């Protein structure tokens, strides 16, 4: 990676990991904090409201006690950020991918969900990896790429059924790849 990308990643890291929330601020965060403290995943899932976010709950229970649980949001935000870069680089070029990262660092909504106790950054990660693997499949036609894409998409649906709203993006990616010169 060139130095410009590393600078943007460094800005991302500073803007997220220095501002991790130690207590709940938004929406369902108080509930997630309580669920992180439940010792048993299945008990936590039973106590959770609809829609249940089992992957997120498992992750926050895993880090609870030795890291702030908002670390999960920041860490998966970082992974999404990197995955998004590679997806855009594959679809367009390195320069466009780099420029597409800059708004992501400063977009307030992303900053909120990536520094607080919220499930959305895990959803974003699962969807971006699924799209990236689907794009790889469209290029190499290897079944393993499609299987991995499908696996991450299923995990995204398991974590939040509302992720199904993004299904048309896969069709759009297919059409884009089919007619891209």
- Contact 165/123 with Cβ under 8 angstroms? no
The region, left, alpha or beta by phi > 0 then psi within -120 to 50, assigned to residue 38 is beta
Total domains, the chain: 1
- Mean residue pLDDT across the chain: 93
pLDDT tens per residue across span 75-98 = 999 999 999 999 999 999 999 999
Q: Which of 36-40, 70-74, 100-104 has the lowest mean pLDDT?
A: 36-40
Range of the domain at 163: 3-179
The region, left, alpha or beta by phi > 0 then psi within -120 to 50, assigned to residue 107 is beta
- List all residues 6 or more positions away from 155 whose beta carbon is below 8 Å from its beta carbon: 55, 126
Main-chain phi, psi angles of 5, to 5 degrees: -65, -40
Query: d(Cα 42, Cα 23) in Å, to the nearest integer?
Result: 23
Which DSSP symbol is given to 85? H
Burial of 67: CB neighbours in 10 Å, binned 0-12, 13-18, 19+:
middle
The CA angle 162-132-176, to the nearest 5 degrees, is 90
Q: What pLDDT does residue 22 have?
A: 82
Enclosing H/E stretch for 124: helix 120-140
pLDDT tens per residue across span 13-67 = 999 999 999 877 877 888 998 999 998 998 999 999 888 899 999 999 999 989 9
Query: d(Cα 38, Cα 63) in Å, to the nearest integer?
Result: 12
> Could you tell me how far CA 57 lies from the centroid of its own chain?
15
Query: d(Cα 91, Cα 154) in Å, to the nearest integer?
Result: 23
């Amino acid at each position: 990676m060139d130095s410009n990308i590393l600078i943007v990643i460094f800005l991302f890291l500073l803007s997220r990991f220095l501002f991790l929330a130690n207590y709940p601020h938004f929406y369902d965060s108080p509930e997630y904090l309580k669920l992180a403290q439940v010792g048993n995943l299945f008990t936590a899932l039973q106590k959770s409201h609809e829609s249940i976010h089992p992957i997120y709950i498992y992750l926050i229970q895993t880090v609870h006690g030795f890291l702030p649980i908002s670390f999960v949001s920041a860490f998966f935000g970082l992974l999404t950020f990197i995955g998004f870069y590679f997806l855009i680089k594959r679809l367009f070029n390195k320069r466009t991918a780099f420029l597409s990262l800059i708004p992501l660092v400063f977009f307030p909504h992303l900053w909120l969900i990536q520094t607080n106790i919220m499930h959305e950054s895990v959803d974003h990660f699962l969807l971006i990896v699924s799209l990236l693997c689907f794009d790889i499949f469209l290029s190499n036609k290897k079944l393993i790429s499609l299987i991995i894409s499908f696996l991450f998409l299923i995990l995204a649906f398991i974590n939040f059924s509302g992720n199904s709203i993004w299904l048309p993006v896969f069709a759009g990616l297919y059409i884009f790849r089919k007619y891209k010169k």
